[in-house]
Amino acid sequence: MVKLIDIAKKLGLSLTTVSRALNDYEEVSSKTKELVRQTAKEMGYVPNKFAQNLALKKSHLISLLYDDYQETISYQSFTFEVIAGVRNYFGRTPYDLIIVPGNLKSETREPLKNICYSRGIEGLFVVGIRTNDPYIEELKKDFIPAVIVDYPLITKKVTYIQSDNLMGCKLAVDYLVSRGHSRIAFINGHDLAAVSPLRLDGYKTALKENGISFDEDIVKVGNYTEKSGYDAVRQLLKEKADFSAVFAASDLMAVGAIKAIKEKGLKVPEDVAVVGFDDVFFAEYSHPSLTTIRQHKFDLGYMGAKELHEIIENPEKPLRSRKIDVELIIRESA
């Protein structure tokens, strides 16, 4: 491995000058700069980041915190695409992405603080972890810049980003209303996902805006899996609840809902219309294909990463949370 001193010796220059030449300091004449750069290239010189980090006290390291024990593929895909956005953003900067090590489920995992401090992590990007994850508590201590997807937390160094859930619910409800529905059942997800209360709120608000009164009897709670959506709607049907449409807080639950409806001999969307949330890719492949609210996952990652970058570079900046627009995708199910 060739190092600075090697190219200094070769050129009869001092270490300092070589370092400065490569870092484009003004104190070095352009002739020497060019010479140094050229020979550095020829000799295959690559700077040692550890040494740089040590000297500069700057790691250029962002840590990615996510949970890989995700029961549903839609969650996997969500996380994957968000991370793609993060990666894409930081790929344009000198920052590297390091994955927070270890089994997130393990009880014996290292404190986040230690992980970050020992590696000189400058920022944390958090996506797809549970609201009851102990790391969330650590984040609240505000010891490191962080951006979280879908968990409402704002401190001096930490902020969050999420899809505009309110808007999403409004789009869904408005659309169903525009198709003549006024009895719209809602299948929400459990509270371990921070978006659940938001979506319930959005649903309520949208109803109100359309002059429809909220009816607790046609609201159920699932856990974002297909089966829970299926169970919820079966329950509704069993109770002979009065509804002509179902709005599910996830596509997977929407698929389950459709299954339950079909099983009763009813047709989607003729008898009951169904709208999902997320636009996971298979929404397109279900039968009937799913009308749903699309989340722009890549953008969540990209914009979240950008925000994180800004927090790091400009620590004084007061933080605000950020919302990414969602989109109504009309297919066959409603």
> Which positions touch DNA (CB under 7 A)?
1, 3-5, 8, 12-17, 19-20, 22-23, 27-29, 32, 45, 47-48, 51-52, 54-57
| CA distances (Å), origin 205, targets 176, 200, 273 | 14, 9, 20
Contact partner, 143, from DNA, a copy of itself, none, Cβ < 5-8 Å per class: none
Query: Which residues of this chain interact with a copy of itself, rule CB under 8 A?
Result: 1, 46-51, 53-54, 59, 64, 68-69, 72-73, 76-77, 79-81, 83-84, 87-88, 90-92, 95-99, 101-103, 106, 113-114, 117-120, 226, 255, 280-282, 285-287
Q: Which is nearer to DNA, 12 or 318 (CB)?
A: 12
Nearer to a copy of itself, 49 or 179 (CB): 49
- Of these partners, a copy of itself, DNA, none, which one is at the site of residue 185 (CB under 5 to 8 Å by kind)? none
* Residue whose token pair is 């069993």: 238
Rounded least distance, CB 35 to DNA, Å:
9
DSSP line for 122-160:
-EEEEES--TT-HHHHHHHT--S-EEEES-----SSEEE
- Output b/e per residue, 285-320; b: 16+ Cβ within 10 A: ebebebbbbbbbbbbbbbbbbbbbbebbeeeeeebe
Cα–Cα distance for residue pair 222/323, rounded to 1 Å: 25
Tell the smallest beta-carbon distance from residue 285 to a copy of itself (Å): 6
| 114 contact, one of a copy of itself, DNA, none, CB 5-8 Å limit per kind | a copy of itself
Quote the distance between the C-alpha of residue 312 and its chain's center: 19
Residues with Cβ within 8 Å of 264's Cβ and at least 6 positions away in sequence, in order, are 237
CB of 216 to a copy of itself, least distance (A): 30
Closest to a copy of itself by CB, 87 or 322: 87
Nearer to DNA, 93 or 205 (CB): 93
Strand partners, 162: 323
What whole-number distance in Å separates Cα of residue 125 and Cα of residue 308? 8
Q: Which is nearer to a copy of itself, 56 or 330 (CB)?
A: 56
Q: In angstroms, what is the minimal distance from the CB of 235 to DNA?
A: 58
Q: Which residues 6+ apart lie within 8 Å of 35 measured at CB?
A: 11, 21
- Angle at 201 (CA atoms; ends 278, 166), nearest 5 degrees: 50
Residue 59: C-alpha distances to residues 1, 23, 117 (Å): 21, 17, 11
Q: How far apart are CA 143 and CA 38, in angstroms?
A: 43
- Least distance (Å) from a copy of itself to the CB of residue 212? 31
Nearer to a copy of itself, 189 or 229 (CB): 229
Residue 160 binding partner per list a copy of itself, DNA, none, with a CB distance cut-off of 5 to 8 Å that depends on partner kind: none
User: Of these partners, a copy of itself, DNA, none, which one is at the site of residue 210 (CB under 5 to 8 Å by kind)?
Assistant: none
Q: Considering beta carbons, is residue 145 or 202 the nearer one to a copy of itself?
A: 145
Q: Residue 293 binds which one of DNA, a copy of itself, none, with CB within 5 to 8 A depending on kind? A: none
Q: Are strands 146-149 and 291-295 parallel, antiparallel or unpaired?
A: unpaired
Nearer to DNA, 57 or 240 (CB): 57
4 binds, among a copy of itself, DNA, none (CB under 5 to 8 A by kind): DNA
Residue 276 structure tokens: 């999902």
